[in-house]
């Protein structure tokens, strides 16, 4: 049950509070693991790339990057680059303790930017997930949540 007003408000608040408006979106499609880099992403663009979903644990609605196959094809057409095969990505995920999002961030950091990756939990309001040449990027792997109503409400205090 989508409420367009709540969704717009959430995307606008997230964008207003975010440390960076540069993003790297990762996803698996047609046998490959892809990364798409987008800079200066607006709230409008975020609304297009994401979906409103129900947050877990009573946190209201969430903004989630969860592209369909058709949307993944559009992301490929927007310039997403192949990082590796889906099989290689899944093997990497199975070989360590990190979840798919963390593994995706690790692969992007190491393979796209040639940097060592370290897991952290710095809030999206204070830093990007990846920094290269002085530019910060927020990373989101498919099915990742950007924010939920509860988190955004807590930022107001």
Q: What is the pTM of this model?
A: 0.94
User: Which residues, other chains included, contact 101 with Cβ-Cβ below 8 Å and sequence gap of 6+?
Assistant: 139, 140, 141, 144
**Domain boundary assignment for the chain:** 4-155
pLDDT in tens, 95-127: 999 999 999 999 999 999 999 999 999 999 999
N-term to C-term CA, the chain? 28
């Amino acid at each position: 049950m989508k409420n367009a007003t709540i969704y717009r408000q959430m995307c606008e608040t997230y964008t207003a509070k975010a440390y960076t408006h540069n993003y790297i979106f990762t996803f698996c499609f047609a046998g490959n693991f892809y990364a798409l880099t987008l800079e200066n992403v607006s709230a409008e663009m975020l609304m297009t790339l994401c979906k409103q979903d129900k947050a877990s644990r009573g946190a209201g609605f969430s903004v989630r990057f969860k592209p369909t196959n058709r949307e993944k094809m559009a992301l490929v057409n927007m310039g997403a680059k192949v990082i590796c095969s889906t099989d290689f990505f899944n093997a990497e995920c199975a070989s360590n303790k990190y979840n798919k999002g963390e593994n995706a961030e690790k692969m992007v950091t190491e393979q796209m930017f040639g940097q060592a990756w370290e897991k952290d939990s710095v809030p999206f309001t204070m830093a990007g997930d990846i920094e290269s040449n002085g530019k910060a990027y927020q990373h989101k792997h498919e099915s990742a949540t950007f924010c939920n109503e509860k988190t955004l409400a807590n930022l107001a205090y």
